[in-house]
Chains A and B, each alone.
Chain A
């Protein structure tokens, strides 16, 4: 990823790539060709100063080759869209979703090609991460680039026992800070209307 890509965007991109890493593994092991994924997620942010974890909930929708809707419902409503080569982020303001142009989303296009690589199962040639397997269901990603390593120490992917889907993603920022996302209600290869990837 180019050095000028903002850090806030980098981690967002990582989330997407993580999903697709799993898809790539599925392609290798089970000859599953991913067309679409829909799922719910629960995100727990652990930070030493937090009395208890900060819990967020949301949904994601992905349609091959490059359409994504990553939506948080609580506690802060926001939507990230990738569709038709365009990246947009929306945040809830005064009860309406308004576009957030402050996160350098143009850079998202840069990494879409890399995401496509993951889709094809070519996760071993990532420019961003060194990939290793702790066991059959645990993938460890370690940043290659110093700039990214300053933000993320490592990432752990827990694969489900079938079809190579993800059960959970844990992103470690340091020994006292990590974000864990668990996925549920996954629906594979269902045709998704284009309206899913727009904000009306």
Chain B
């Protein structure tokens, strides 16, 4: 199989995010948090018109992978994004609208598969946009090494999936997604957060999916701009 095709095939499969039996399960909330601490859950998500450029290191299970530059422009629920090679080739560019429709402006094979666009926007929305609906606030007991109680906003989607937003873990934030069966299928960990306006901008984000086709996106912030 061609290496590039292999890369994309695994990526596409990974975006489906199969759940493994040994994955952590959805923890019970402990009580109700009167205060969410220093950071509210809303601070996890960028406000207004913003653009982020990240160096993205894509790592498959086993350690292989490749690096690209990712551009994400946010305007409410409308999102434009592009993936560019280090050498400057535009691999993928698309606009995703609030009504879930999208327009692919450029996609170099094999990034022209509709499933790739769908999976990509799933990851982008998970990082940059709050889950729909209202979250229930509570507390969670974090496992080691960050053992202790921490505030959480818990969102449930219509299909039964759950998203926990932890706005204050080690000075930054974390997002954990669970399948309708309560199995952890995606974690997003922000590190080295900087306060910018009412939000927290991580210098580093690590998105990890689990299961046999799991993958990791290591995203190092190159720059964050306001879009006029």
Contact = CB atoms under 8 A, between A and B. Distances in A.
B66 A49 contact: no
A84 interface: no
A100 B66 contact: yes
Contacts of A103: 3-4, 66
B89 A91 contact: no
A151 B89 contact: yes
B contact patch SS: strand
Interface string B12-34: 00000000000000000000000
28 contacts: A6-B3, A8-B87, A12-B89, A45-B88, A47-B90, A49-B51, A49-B81, A49-B82, A50-B51, A50-B82, A51-B73, A56-B86, A72-B86, A75-B55, A76-B86, A91-B66, A92-B67, A100-B66, A101-B64, A102-B3, A102-B4, A102-B65, A102-B66, A103-B3, A103-B4, A104-B2, A104-B3, A173-B89
Contacts of B2: 4, 6, 104
Nearest to B51: A51
Give the secondary structure class of A's interface: mixed
Nearest to B68: A76
A49 B85 contact: no
B169 to A, nearest CB: 21
Interface string A87-109: 00001110000001111100000
A171 interface: yes
Contact of A7 (B67, B80, B108): B108
A7 B109 contact: yes
A188 to B, nearest CB: 24
Most chain A C-beta atoms within 10 Å of own C-beta, residue among B3, B64, B65, B69: B3
Interface string A163-183: 000000001011001010000
B175 to A, nearest CB: 23
B3 A171 contact: no
Given A93-B57, A102-B7, A104-B3, 7 more contacts: A8-B91, A43-B88, A47-B82, A47-B90, A49-B81, A91-B66, A91-B67
Given A102-B64, A102-B65, A177-B106, A11 B71 contact: no
Given A7-B109, A101-B64, A102-B7, A51 B86 contact: no
Contacts of A171: 88
Contacts, number: 104
Contacts of A93: 57, 59
Interface residues of A, number: 35
A100 B67 contact: yes
Interface of B: 2-4, 6-7, 51, 53, 55, 57, 59, 64-67, 69, 71, 73, 80-82, 84-91, 93, 106, 108-109, 222, 225-228
Contacts of B84: 45, 47, 54
B106 to A, nearest CB: 7
B116 to A, nearest CB: 14
A70 to B, nearest CB: 8
Given A104-B2, A104-B4, A179-B88, A51 B227 contact: yes
B86 to A, nearest CB: 5
B225 A51 contact: yes
Contacts of A51: 51, 73, 225-228
A117 to B, nearest CB: 22
B86 A78 contact: yes
Contacts of A15: 87
Contacts of B222: 54, 75
B191 to A, nearest CB: 14
A150 B89 CA distance: 12
Closest 8 CB pairs of A and B: A179-B88, A102-B66, A6-B4, A51-B225, A11-B89, A91-B67, A76-B55, A104-B3
A13 to B, nearest CB: 10
